[in-house]
A and B are shown apart, each in its own frame.
Chain A
């Protein structure tokens, strides 16, 4: 409802006070490959900007405190709890939500297909976060980032996504329906089938991690 017109000056504009007194700024987010110019109240989280302003309601609000992972999206290729990011601080960021995982022609991402095949959800509310988090996991493993359970003797290079690795890396994504077994099976299947194929987010390897992104 506060979206700036498409012809307005996008991105990086100085903060200003709107008529209602709220502190606002213009930012541009590249969401699922499309630039979205927003005039945001500084209190608006990335999560609420997605859900309430851009009507991308696939990203879920489970706790609003970074404790459940339902709001996980990819910001510049890295997974992040969007409830812990203020939209105003994400000017210029590339954001991938669950709506951006499938191809434009509707072909599902391999993880989406695997979630269906392994009945990796019940109510579906944690599912977008699990999916985006899993995309991040695949990228992190491919990049050789160790986790708490990666052995110190493990060779450098890509990390093999064992079930222990997947469980550790996805433990920030709660599922109250208890679909964990199916989720792990789905991620393991896709992880095993990667073989160098790019099943991560479009921009994951191209852009270096940003230090202000909370994972």
Chain B
């Protein structure tokens, strides 16, 4: 055996060939013999009760197998998530909530029959519009991620009133939609003879899907197999089981036919979670030298009446800057809206947009360079907890980024014809999370190795990086390691979310391979025909509370051009520098950083959803109305990182990288627009109508 250095190498994606040849199969691309198709029927009122579902016309159509309604659908067992209690209750908590399911022999038949289902409602008044002064706003005990809803240190109000310089601003981030390219889909197949349910699901974690299905359908977990081999993106919206997989399984069990259910794109905004809108009020107090004396960040957001989800947007202010008197608080309003959930960097993305915009406004007010202002407020320990950072290289990211971007040269706003050109900067942060996982490593007599773990590759390159982790732990070339993931028959592992997949799975893979290496070291003679195996379970190590505050940091720089005629903002340059521990695969890591920056570009300029006051759900419910960035919106992006050696993380020394790329992007672009135009827009996205109004006043 020879030492290898797979980690840190740009090892190509293992499933690359399957993806470029079309051989990679996603959840809806399995068609068992006799497969039927399901099409759900969404509610057309925002609040009320279903009084009747008339499926007569639908059921009379050729090939229709059945129509399930809240009055006759099979009764489900318990679920932690009430959004999975489908067709159990005539109550309609929001528009788009499913009120019937049609199953037919063909996709076309199911779709046509769904349009023939007649639903009658007892409609009630609804309340769907979030306002900062909504009378029902409350302070939740916890926000998403288990963070306290409210934190206060010192006396921020007094400190603010005493501050020599003050900024007091409000910012707004609209509802945003994950919109992975693969709509949520599942194919469920019930084998009555074996009493076994097999489900192909588009999910960020097959394990939690199996657990939920077992509870809902009162089946033993070992009577269910969930496969999530290839997943066409998730960005949080497939992080937990979603309604489609429950409906597919319900229909398969009820009708005794394999059932495929792929959600229509237009259903996604109301059924799979969204980033909740956030209204921010930020007050900063500072000395004339820019040193912060006080900070308050108050976030108001909506949740649904079905399940509380509070976007933890005030949390990053607990991490970022040295400030003695600080209040960070969340207020939530439960409305008759679809249930919000995770979308890439929940909390950090909208929270850092607001905080980093406010820091830019403070820099403007003080006449201090925005990079320098941030450097001057670098804390010695995590402000909220007082714990030392395991590693924090924000200042290095800012300095490196400024150098690479040519920040000093870009500080003079300029004209080019009708264009105003400006540059902006923002910091980024994302916590280091880790979850328990198990893995098994197996050595074959032919010199090959197999690593098994129920990890999920949603496009991150998980298969590839886990092979790299294994190869180095086994001290063999990466080509000799096969990796099996995406199947509940494999050792249980955490889901692909919270930027903690690689850390959590990699840790278990590392430990299993280290144990196997030890076994091989003490083994004498040729391996037995069945090979040798070793397993690992990181429950103890991953749950151990660290004495350190562990976060990744980054700095974003953007150059924009603002068209004074059309109001269009275009990003000319976008550059990020990240300090995220050891980068395990520079090729896939760069793609993740850059991809998240593209999503941040969308958040800044194009992505915008609206809760319709009259109808109660999202107006922008397809990809023609909800504008994700396209090729023409995206310039050459630069993603860099600095070497960070942090011994307080995991055996690989890595921090998560899937989300931090979005975190500072919107603020950097917004700050660049303010720099270019001299006008501050405080509501995203920065669409031409808003920019023109800011430039020329309302017509």
Chain A residues within CB distance 8 Å of chain B: 1, 20-22, 41, 43-44, 48, 51-52, 55-65, 67-68, 70, 97-99, 101-102, 108, 112, 115-116, 119, 121-128, 131, 163, 166-168, 170-184
Contacts and interface: CB of A to CB of B under 8 A. Distances in A.
A141 B112 CA distance: 41
A176 B235 contact: yes
A112 B594 CA distance: 21
A102 B625 CA distance: 35
8 contacts: A20-B105, A44-B108, A52-B31, A57-B22, A61-B28, A65-B624, A123-B181, A123-B232
A58 B20 CA distance: 9
A108 B106 CA distance: 34
Contact of B31 (A20, A55, A163, A179): A55
Contacts of B391: none
Given A121-B20, A176-B599, 13 more contacts: A22-B108, A43-B112, A57-B29, A99-B21, A115-B20, A119-B588, A125-B181, A131-B20, A174-B630, A176-B178, A176-B235, A180-B634, A183-B631
A187 to B, nearest CB: 10
Nearest to A66: B624
A43 B63 CA distance: 14
B180 interface: yes
Contact of B181 (A55, A59, A60): A60
CB-based closest 8 A-B pairs: A58-B22, A178-B598, A125-B232, A123-B459, A124-B19, A178-B595, A122-B459, A20-B62
B523 interface: no
B634 A167 contact: yes
Interface stretch (B10-18, B70-78, B214-222, B481-489): B10-18
Given A99-B22, A108-B21, A181-B637, A122 B460 contact: yes
Interface in B432-471: 458-461
Given A43-B108, A116-B12, A127 B631 contact: no
Contacts of A173: 630-631
B52 interface: no
B637 A122 contact: no
A1 B595 CA distance: 39
Nearest to A121: B19
A45 B191 CA distance: 31
A174 B628 contact: yes
Given A65-B624, A168-B632, A60 B232 contact: yes
Interface of B: 12-13, 15-26, 28-29, 31, 62-63, 105-109, 112, 178-183, 230-233, 235, 262, 264-265, 458-461, 587-588, 590-592, 594-599, 622-624, 628-632, 634, 636-637
Contacts of A61: 28, 183, 262
Nearest to A2: B106
A177 B233 contact: yes
Nearest to B591: A119
Nearest to B661: A178
A175 B632 CA distance: 12
B459 A64 contact: no
B56 to A, nearest CB: 16
Contact of A125 (B20, B63, B182): B182
A64 B20 contact: no
Contact of B632 (A64, A67, A171): A171
B623 A63 contact: yes
Given A21-B62, A98-B22, A176-B235, A119 B587 contact: yes
A48 B15 CA distance: 25
A41 B106 contact: yes
Interface of A is mostly: loop
Nearest to A117: B12
Contacts of A115: 16, 20
Contact of B622 (A67, A98, A178, A184): A67
Given A67-B622, A68-B623, A108-B21, A175 B29 contact: no
Contacts of B17: 108, 116
Nearest to B29: A57
A176 B588 contact: no
Nearest to B601: A178
A167 B178 CA distance: 23
Contacts of A112: 20-21
A123 B15 contact: no
A171 B631 contact: yes
A62 B182 contact: yes
A82 B608 CA distance: 28
A20 B104 CA distance: 12
B604 to A, nearest CB: 13
B624 A178 contact: no
B638 to A, nearest CB: 9
Contacts of B16: 115-116, 121
Contacts of B597: 178
A64 to B, nearest CB: 7
Contacts of A167: 631-632, 634
B230 A124 contact: yes
A178 B21 contact: no
Nearest to B599: A178
Contacts of A126: 181
B268 to A, nearest CB: 10
Nearest to A99: B22
Contact of B107 (A52, A56, A123, A180): A52
A67 B623 contact: yes
Contacts of A119: 12-13, 587-588, 590-591
Contacts of A64: 264-265
A64 B28 CA distance: 14
B587 A174 contact: no
Contacts of A41: 106, 108
Contacts of A97: 22
A179 B628 CA distance: 13
Contacts of B24: 124
B21 A166 contact: no
Contact of B180 (A121, A176, A184): A176
A25 B15 CA distance: 38
A123 B458 contact: yes
Contacts of A48: 107-108
Contact of B265 (A21, A62, A181): A62
Given A22-B63, A124-B15, A177 B459 contact: yes
Contacts of B265: 62-65, 67-68
